Amino acid sequence: MNAVAGLAIDIKAAAKRYGRDEALHAMDLALPEGESLALIGHNGAGKTTLLKLILGLTQPTTGSLRVWGMPPLEYKAQAAAGVGFLPESIAFKGHLSGREILSSYAALKGAKPGQVRELLGVVGLGADADRRVRTYSKGMRQRLGLAQALLGTPRLLILDEPTSGLDPEFRRQFYELIGQQQSLGATIVLSSHSLTEIEAQTDRIAILQAGRLKQLGSLEDLRLRSGLPVRVRVVTRSGGGNLIVAAIGDTYRCEQPAGDLVQIWCDRDEKVQLVNRLFEQAGEHIVDLDLIPPRLDDLFTHFVDVGPA
């Protein structure tokens, strides 16, 4: 394949219009091979449109999009098993068993038949493989959907709200599975509303708003760019909270939601100075102290609220 070395997805000034409605404005985005990218944004931000473009389900109105140097349709024609896709809502024929459904997908993708049994076990459906899918819970159907996306060991995994309906334990297992695929060289594009869940699960994060790419970078990049403060959470012995507040004075924003709990906000380059000051002036009263950087939901709210990029 005539791939661009090192680039899995290369998007240049890609826009998508439906009549007068511009669902996606001129977007530039380069995704290196083997990287994972999370797409976040409100409903209507352009996430689904972008995924459809990458999958070749629709074409850009203007601009270009390449998957390993080729238009998505051309890539899919050459490597049917090269793309795995888990849509937000996946519908299976209820009268078929999980094994029958996965076997049919394996035949379509040219995957090895032995992968069916293997993947059913991997997603925790081995014991339920011969049950009719109409008897599956939502979480079980989602796990079956993940199994079909992993068929053929795809080079590119597109996942749209992939943990919807999954219990906490399998959510953890899900990200372990995706991490394993990435370690094998797969490129991951994941769209999710679960911001706290995904913040430590991807290499970079793309914030979309009204069809535009608002911000792009690692979690640490976004934290630096935002300038949002670090939160220092201090737990004290009884009566120590007042001493902490007195030690802080008016230098920092400070809240005391409970007598023995104090929260202080400071710039990231002031945190060491602040912690040293706390221990110097009230160290004997401190039971616990945590430094809490801005979370992804804080960053998302900040960047969406600050206006156009």
pLDDT per residue over 114-137, tens digit each? 999 999 999 999 999 999 999 999
The domain that contains 289 carries what CATH number?
3.30.70.120
Asked if 250 and 217 sit in the same domain, the reply is no
For residues 72-90, average pLDDT: 78
Spatial separation of the C-alpha atoms in residues 304 and 164, rounded to whole Å: 24
The angle subtended at Cα 296 by Cα 290 and Cα 302, nearest 5°, is 105
Spatial separation of the C-alpha atoms in residues 62 and 180, rounded to whole Å: 36
The β-bridge partners of 156 are: 83, 187
300 lies in some domain = no
Q: How confident is the model at residue 3 (pLDDT cuts 50, 70, 90)?
A: very low
305 lies in some domain = no
Q: How confident is the model at residue 225 (pLDDT cuts 50, 70, 90)?
A: very high
Q: How confident is the model at residue 218 (pLDDT cuts 50, 70, 90)?
A: very high
Give the pLDDT score at 2. 38
For residues 57-80, average pLDDT: 84
Q: What are phi and psi of 98, to 5 degrees?
A: -60, -40
303 lies in some domain = no
Domain boundary pick from 165, 189, 224: 224
For residues 37-45, average pLDDT: 94
Asked if 265 and 214 sit in the same domain, the reply is no
Asked if 183 and 239 sit in the same domain, the reply is no
pTM greater than 0.95 = no
pLDDT at position 248 over 90: no
Order of strands across the sheet that contains 286-292: 253-258, 261-266, 230-236, 286-292
Spatial separation of the C-alpha atoms in residues 127 and 129, rounded to whole Å: 6
> Which range (144-148, 195-199, 288-292) has the least confidence?
195-199
Q: Which among 194, 284, 281 has a CA at the least distance from the CA of 246?
A: 281
The β-bridge partners of 262 are: 234
Spatial separation of the C-alpha atoms in residues 153 and 264, rounded to whole Å: 48
Asked if 52 and 170 sit in the same domain, the reply is yes
Q: How many domains does the chain have?
A: 2
Containing structural domain, residue 244: 229-293
Asked if 144 and 181 sit in the same domain, the reply is yes
The β-bridge partners of 70 are: 67
306 lies in some domain = no
pLDDT at position 81 over 80: no
Spatial separation of the C-alpha atoms in residues 64 and 54, rounded to whole Å: 11
Asked if 136 and 189 sit in the same domain, the reply is yes
Asked if 208 and 234 sit in the same domain, the reply is no
Asked if 187 and 214 sit in the same domain, the reply is yes
pLDDT in tens, 160-191: 988 888 888 888 989 999 999 999 999 999 99
Residue 70 is given by DSSP the state B
Domain boundary pick from 186, 208, 224: 224
Asked if 249 and 193 sit in the same domain, the reply is no
Instruction: Quickly count: other Cβ atoms within 10 Å of residue 255's Cβ.
Output: 11
Asked if 138 and 274 sit in the same domain, the reply is no
> Which range (3-7, 108-112, 240-244, 293-297) has the least confidence?
3-7
Spatial separation of the C-alpha atoms in residues 141 and 139, rounded to whole Å: 5
Spatial separation of the C-alpha atoms in residues 130 and 128, rounded to whole Å: 6
Question: What DSSP line would sit under 169-205, residue for residue?
Answer: HHHHHHHHHHHHHHHTT-EEEEE-S-HHHHTTT-SEE
Give the pLDDT score at 210. 94
The domain that contains 171 carries what CATH number?
3.40.50.300
Give the pLDDT score at 73. 78
Give the pLDDT score at 309. 44
309 lies in some domain = no
pLDDT in tens, 92-107: 999 999 999 999 999 9
Domain boundary pick from 169, 189, 224: 224
1 lies in some domain = no
% of the chain at pLDDT higher than 70: 95
pLDDT at position 79 over 80: no
308 lies in some domain = no
Asked if 151 and 239 sit in the same domain, the reply is no
> Which range (3-12, 144-153, 189-198, 271-280) has the least confidence?
3-12
Give the pLDDT score at 78. 61
Asked if 164 and 186 sit in the same domain, the reply is yes
Give the pLDDT score at 88. 85
Residue 268 is given by DSSP the state G
pLDDT in tens, 264-280: 999 999 999 999 999 99
pLDDT at position 5 over 80: no
